[in-house]
Amino acid sequence: MAAATDITCVTVFGGTGFLGSEIVKRLAAAGLATRVAVRHPDNVSKQRRSGQTEIQPLYADVRDESSVALAVKGSDAVINCVGLYVESGAETFEAVHELGALNVAHQAAVFGIDRLVHISGIGADLRSPSSYVHSRAKGELLVSDVLPQATIFRPSAIFGPSDKFLNTLANIVRVSPVLPLFGQGRTKLQPVYVGDVAQAALKALQDPVSQGKTYELGGPRTYTYRALIELLLDHMKRRRLLLPLPFAIWKALSAVAAILPSPPITRAQVVLMERDNVVAKSALTFEDLGLEPAALEDILSRYAL
C-alpha cells in the first residue's frame, strides 16, 4: 500500500473536463507530476507548473483497455472523472460509466496501484429505470469489486465560474421573461463548488484512511430549485416569471432535444431533478476528509453574469 509521500505521479482520466481540469490544477500545485489522459491530448496545456512539476497530456479512451493500460503504467495513483450525459453512437452510458470505469479500475489493479478516486454522483441507484442513473451505480459496483481500496466520490450538482449549470440558467435569464421550473421547483439540491471537489480528490490521495470508502460531497447549504433560481435572479438583479412545468413535459422536451448535437436538456438531467440531490445523513462527507466546503453565495461574486 502506497503511503501519501510515495505518490509522485497521478493519471487523471477526463482531465480536460470541468471538474477534471480543476483536479489537474490542484495536483500540479501540490507538486505532483500529472498525466492528463484524454481522447484529445492536443487540448491540454503543456505549460509547466510549480517549478519542475509537469502536466503531461497523453491519449486514452476509457473504453479501450489497452490505452488505459498505457496511461496508468508508472503512475502511483489514478483519478477517473470521465462522465457522460448524452449518448451518441458508441458513446453510451454502459460503455463509459460501466465498461470505462471497469477498465480503469482493472488496469490500476494490474499495475499494483491501490490509490484510485472514482467520481460518480449523488443519486446513483441500481434500481433506477434511468439508464444514466443505473450505469453510474453499476460503475461504482464494478470499481469496488475489482479494486476494493478505491475511493468513490458522489458529488451533488457541481458549480463554478465556468460551469454549465448556473451559466446556462443565466443565459436563459438574459433572453427570456419566463423561467420554467422542474415541477413546482421543490426538488432539493446541495450544490458543491468544483474547487472543493478537486481538493477532496487530492486529500483522498494523501490520506490512506479514505481508501475503500464512499463520500457524498455537497455544499454547506441546501436549496430548493426555486430558491436557487431566486438566488441567481437576485445576484443578476433581474426579475422573471417562474413557471412550474410538470416533469412529463420536461421528459417530452428532452426527447425532442435529444436530436440536437448539444441538447440544452437531457432525459438524464430530468430524471435526476425528480429526486432530491442531497447528501444522505449517514454518508461520509467533506467533514470526514477534514475539509469545509464553500457556500454558493461566496462563489457567485466570481461569476461574470
205 closest CA partner among 290, 293, 116:
116
Q: What is the pLDDT of residue 53?
A: 60
222 closest CA partner among 269, 195, 182, 187:
187
Q: What is the pLDDT of residue 268?
A: 86
Q: What is the pLDDT of residue 63?
A: 97
Cα 146 from Cα 232, distance rounded (Å): 42
Domains of the chain: 4-159+191-218+278-294 (3.40.50.720)
The predicted model scores a pTM of 0.93
Q: What is the pLDDT of residue 263?
A: 85
Q: What is the pLDDT of residue 183?
A: 96
Cα 1 from Cα 115, distance rounded (Å): 8
Q: What is the pLDDT of residue 189?
A: 97
pLDDT in tens, the chain (305 residues): 455 568 999 999 999 999 999 999 999 999 999 999 999 998 786 544 444 468 999 999 999 999 999 999 999 999 999 999 888 889 999 999 999 999 999 999 999 999 999 999 999 999 998 899 999 999 999 999 999 999 999 999 999 999 989 998 999 999 999 999 999 999 999 999 999 999 999 999 999 999 999 999 999 999 999 999 999 999 999 999 999 999 999 999 999 998 888 788 888 889 889 999 999 999 999 999 999 999 999 999 889 77
Q: What is the pLDDT of residue 44?
A: 81
Torsion of CA 42, 48, 49, 54, to 10 degrees: 80
Q: What's CA 75's distance to the chain center, in Å?
A: 22
Each residue of 126-178: pLDDT tens digit? 999 889 999 999 999 999 999 999 999 999 999 999 998 999 899 999 999 99
